[in-house]
Structure 1
Amino acid sequence: MAEHLSQSELDYPFKLLEYFNGFRISKVSEEEMLKFMGLMNSTWVIDGHDIVTAFDLSSFKTVIDLGGCSGALARELAKEYPSSTVTVLDLPAVVQTAQRHFAQQDDTICFQEGDFFEGEIPPADLYILARIIHDWKEDKNLKLLKKIHTACHPGGGVLIAEALLFENRRGPTMVQMFSLNMLVQTEGKEHPPSHYTRLLTDAGFRDVQVCRTGKSYDAILALK
């Protein structure tokens, strides 16, 4: 799909990232926000099923998708695990836009306004961080993961969805391109699995598992 997009279209999500996930979202017009959220929504409509089925998540009965945007990935999880209660926690402007433009009749998920960096993180069995960690520097990510670990129920965990580099960082080519964009447009970059394993272990998590899905994004699960 990427080869049919212009460079400006490929760059667009990265140019807006500075306004999302804790940045200056108040300066984004609703039109810009809708375009960004539409791109994120399409991503998880295409790749979401592979993320939520990479591991058996049936034991996690309360799930919070932190920075879950339109709710597309959360809906994929709710569809696969109907006995779980799934909530999207995101900034107020994002939640309000999602409810106006992306809500579904008889929706299977809930939305909650909040700031997972500055505010409280509600307790849950499982937290999802999908395309969040790659936005930020390591110290900020470690602080966030420690905060999640504290809020997480015993036996719970965190599911991370990111594009993973090879351990030697020499591929995949598309992930290298993602990483270059992230370096230019945000504080973060893409990483190999060992980086996430170390970060999660330092935050107090254990039993880190990695699944390369064969699609654009891969999955990492760690337990408390």
Structure 2
Amino acid sequence: MAEHLSQSELDYPFKLLEYFNGFRVSKMIFSACELGVFDLLLKSQDALSAQHVAQELGTSMDGMERLLDALVGIEILEVETAQGTALYSSTDVANLYLAKGSAKSLHDMIIYRSQTVYPLWNNLVDAIREGRNQYEKTFGLPSGHFFQAIYRSEEEMLKFMGIMSCHWVLDGHDVVTAFDLSRFQKVVDLGGCTGALANEMARAYPASSVTVFDLPQVVEAAQKHFKQEDSGVTFQSGDFFSDEIPGADLYVLARVIHDWPEEKCLALLKKVYETCKPGEFPRNQGHPHTLAGR
């Protein structure tokens, strides 16, 4: 049988093993972030031994050494040997994206994926069978719409807002500059959360006014807990399903549409269509403009 297989088919079992073990790689990074490994290494001026890291973070020596060696193996940490002792230090990538103190940190995203998304995906089979979210089985919460679970407390809401902000660290600028949007004088980001994408929009198009429209508790938390840049972005409170949305030349619905059933999405898009000012694009005059994404 094997002699009839191509080289790519013979190699594929190893690709499958890569897929099978992917969750282990994720959990190593998640665990290191939760323990504060990357923050400790970033603050240190010197490479540290596993014993030193374990003592500082209150873990076992054996467990920490295994974790650090594994992170070296996936090229997130570096190791050198001095007088028979392994000394660990962060790579530039770890310092930039994994340490909490970095301006481009993905730390909040990682913590949310570890503490919320990862446990939920453990019940993926049941989610497929039942066709509903698994918050009740995973966290003992009502199985209504998942935003009720996400916003069940300020702490959980802030975790979710953190991950939404992190989404735009890597590609926010690329998203808002993929097309020239400078012709739109007034932009409204519906469900814009912390204003991270809105800030990218305002920086790219300083002549445009950009407004984030989100629920009152989200707007309050965004202004209280998340650094707001001096970009001119304004916030307005409201529910885009039940309240009137502000008029604009361009609406942004980023990571919004996929959250809701089709009938609610159609109702929201109809509201956008009726509120948005006529466009100016050739061959598309009279139509509203929406920058939408999953």
TM-score range relative to shorter protein: 0.5 to 0.7
Distance 2:173 2:181 in 1: 12
Contact 2:199 2:229 in 1 (8 A): no
Match of 2:155 in 1: 31
What's the TM-score, normalizing by structure 2? 0.49
The alignment-based identity, stated in percent, is 58
Deviation by residue 1:95-123 (Cα, 9 ceiling, x = unmatched) = 00001011425342000001100100111
Instruction: Read off the aligned partner of 1:129 and give its amino acid letter.
Output: L
Q: Equivalent residue for 1:104?
A: 228
- Name the counterpart of 1:55: 179
Q: Counterpart of 1:89 in 2: which secondary structure?
A: strand
Q: 1 or 2 for the larger relative contact order (CA 8 Å, sep ≥6)? A: 1
Q: What SS does the aligned partner of 2:289 have?
A: strand
- What does residue 204 of structure 2 align with? 80
Return the TM-score normalized by structure 1. Answer: 0.63
| 5+ long unaligned stretches in structure 2 | 1-24, 32-112, 121-132, 136-140, 280-287
Note the alpha carbon deviations across 1:114-160, whole angstroms, 9 max, x for none: 11001001110000001110011112111110110000001141001
**Residue 92 of structure 1 pairs with residue 221 of structure 2:** no
Taking the aligned partners of 1:38 and 1:112, their CA distance within structure 2 comes to 19
Q: Which has the higher strand share?
A: 1
Corresponding residue for 1:144? 268
Residues of 2 paired with 1:49 and 1:18: CA distance? 31
Asked if the contact 1:19–1:28 (Cα under 8 Å) also holds between the matched residues in 2, the reply is: no
State the partner residue of 1:157. 289
For the structure 1 residues 142 and 41, does the alpha-carbon distance in structure 2 shift closer, same or farther, using more than 3 Å as the test?
same
Determine if contact 2:212/2:235 at 8 Å carries over to the other structure: yes
- CA distance in 2 between counterparts of 1:151 and 1:9 reads 39
Larger radius of gyration: 2
Partner of 2:255: 131
Kindly provide the CA deviation profile for residues 35-83 of structure 1, in whole angstroms up to 9, marking residues without a partner as x: 1111111111222112101111111110000000000000000010110
Cα 1:66/1:105, change in 2 over 3 Å: closer
Rounded Cα–Cα distance in structure 2 between residues aligned with 1:114 and 1:5: 35
| Residues 19/96 of structure 1: CA separation in 2 closer, same or farther (3 Å cut) | farther
Greater fraction helix: 2
Large movers: runs of 4+ above 2 Å: 2-10, 12-20, 103-108
